């Protein structure tokens, strides 16, 4: 069967060369005579895979030497709790810019005082509110943002200034899609299943001075200092997901790294937004200066016509394009692994559907 263009929001498409390498090495990795899935995580052969993946991530993300990179489990949702458990002593500031940003804020409220200093919730999360240094609470231990909002299709186009207060960012849906100055953040975390690799892996990038003050009741798996001390192997890590993620990092390097993929992502998203903006059928409700490059939601304004679009798109090999239930309509998730050919195919289908249904 031919492969389709998979526009799923996550788990999402993986690069074809990565899948082909994983397929080739499935039964026996190198000269080991066994699959990566069968290896002890403490064996020399697997530690080489782990260290290779970690080094490749540090290169493509340009992680400074004074930051640790952890390969953990529990998803970004696990870090919703881990962040306050490691950092919250007095109070924390959160920006409520989408479903997952809101979820992170609600989770943190279980562990201490949380301030919502910026929100677009009342406007349907159609824009990213500004955060300026004067908005940061005097006693804030950290400020938390979600850099890209998968469901609503918004993104931060610049890094908020928070002064000396560490900035913590959930980058699950746009990590590695554009160049980021890691030094502007205290903590960056991301679930893997959108732009990094398969589900099961969570990447945490944390500045050296921040681990070490976890609350006494913090589960040891969420304690960053313990994970740093044990090189992310306090328990068995998601071994195979790390292996595939490493292949994805190396694939990204082969394209020219994040700088190169950012230009491709600009082109892909512009192709869709230009079509939508010049259409008499489709509409995107996000403020133009806040539009995501990774997740492009759009509607026709008619729920039945939206359903018809989704069905016919799937019949044409353009799958998983139905919008989230909170928004409806359609959503094209065009992460790094989505080739521009897939976006062009979607654009051509959109034009044809409009001609037949407008």
DSSP for 302-340, written as a single string: -HHHHHHHHHHHHHTTEES-BPPTTT-SEEEE--TTS-H
Residue spans of the domains in the chain: they are 16-254, 257-357
8 A C-beta contact, residue 90 and residue 124? no
What φ, ψ does residue 276 adopt, rounded to 5°?
-65, -45
Domain 16-254, second-level architecture: 3-Layer(aba) Sandwich (3.40)
**pLDDT > 70: what percent of the chain?**
100
pLDDT for the residue 333: 98
What average pLDDT does this structure show over 84-110? 98
What average pLDDT does this structure show over 271-291? 98
Does residue 1 register a pLDDT over 80? no
Q: Express each pLDDT in 347-356 by its tens digit.
A: 999 999 999 9
Reported confidence tier of residue 358, pLDDT bands at 50, 70, 90: confident
pLDDT for the residue 332: 98
pLDDT for the residue 55: 98
pLDDT for the residue 111: 98
pLDDT for the residue 124: 96
What average pLDDT does this structure show over 210-222? 97
Q: Express each pLDDT in 235-256 by its tens digit.
A: 999 999 999 999 999 999 999 9
What average pLDDT does this structure show over 270-295? 98
pLDDT for the residue 210: 98
**Mean pLDDT, the chain, integer:** 97
What CATH number does domain 257-357 carry, 3.30.428.10, 3.40.50.920, 3.20.20.70, 3.90.1150.10?
3.90.1150.10
**pLDDT > 90: what percent of the chain?**
99
pLDDT for the residue 144: 98
Closest CA to 261 of 205, 334, 332, 326: 334
What average pLDDT does this structure show over 76-95? 98
Q: How many CB atoms lie within 10 A of CB 223?
A: 21
Q: How many CB atoms lie within 10 A of CB 328?
A: 14
SS3 state at 244:
helix
8 A C-beta contact, residue 252 and residue 258? yes
Reported confidence tier of residue 58, pLDDT bands at 50, 70, 90: very high
């Amino acid at each position: 069967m031919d492969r389709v263009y998979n526009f799923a929001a996550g788990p999402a498409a993986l690069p074809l060369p990565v899948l082909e390498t994983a397929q080739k090495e499935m039964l026996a990795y190198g000269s080991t005579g066994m699959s990566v899935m069968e290896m002890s995580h403490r064996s020399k052969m697997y530690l080489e895979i782990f260290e290779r993946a970690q080094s490749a991530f540090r290169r493509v993300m340009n992680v400074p030497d004074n930051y640790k990179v952890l390969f953990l489990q529990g998803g970004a949702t696990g870090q919703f709790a881990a962040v306050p458990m490691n950092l919250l002593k007095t109070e924390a500031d959160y920006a409520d810019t989408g479903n997952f940003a809101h979820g992170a804020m609600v989770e943190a409220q279980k562990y201490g005082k949380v301030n919502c200093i910026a929100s677009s919730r009342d406007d349907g999360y159609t824009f990213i509110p500004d955060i300026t240094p004067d908005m940061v609470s005097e006693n804030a231990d950290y400020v938390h943002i979600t850099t890209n909002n998968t469901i609503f299709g918004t993104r931060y186009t610049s890094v908020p200034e928070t002064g000396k207060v560490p900035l913590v960012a959930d980058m699950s849906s746009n990590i590695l899609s554009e160049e980021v100055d890691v030094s502007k953040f205290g903590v960056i975390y991301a679930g893997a299943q959108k732009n990094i690799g398969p589900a099961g892996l969570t990447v945490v990038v944390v500045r050296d001075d921040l681990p070490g003050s976890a609350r006494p009741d913090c589960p040891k798996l969420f304690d960053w200092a313990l994970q740093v001390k044990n090189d992310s192997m306090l328990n068995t890590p998601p071994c195979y997901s790390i292996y595939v993620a490493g292949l994805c990092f190396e694939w990204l390097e082969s394209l020219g790294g994040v700088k190169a993929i950012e230009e491709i992502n600009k082109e892909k998203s512009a192709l869709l937004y230009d079509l939508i903006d010049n259409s008499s059928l489709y509409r995107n409700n996000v403020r133009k200066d806040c539009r995501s490059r990774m997740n492009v939601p759009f509607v026709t304004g008619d729920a039945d016509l939206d359903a018809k679009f989704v069905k016919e798109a799937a019949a044409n090999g353009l799958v998983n394009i139905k919008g989230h239930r909170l928004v409806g309509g359609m959503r094209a998730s065009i992460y790094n692994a989505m080739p521009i050919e897939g976006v062009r195919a979607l654009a051509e289908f959109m034009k044809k559907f409009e001609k037949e249904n407008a």
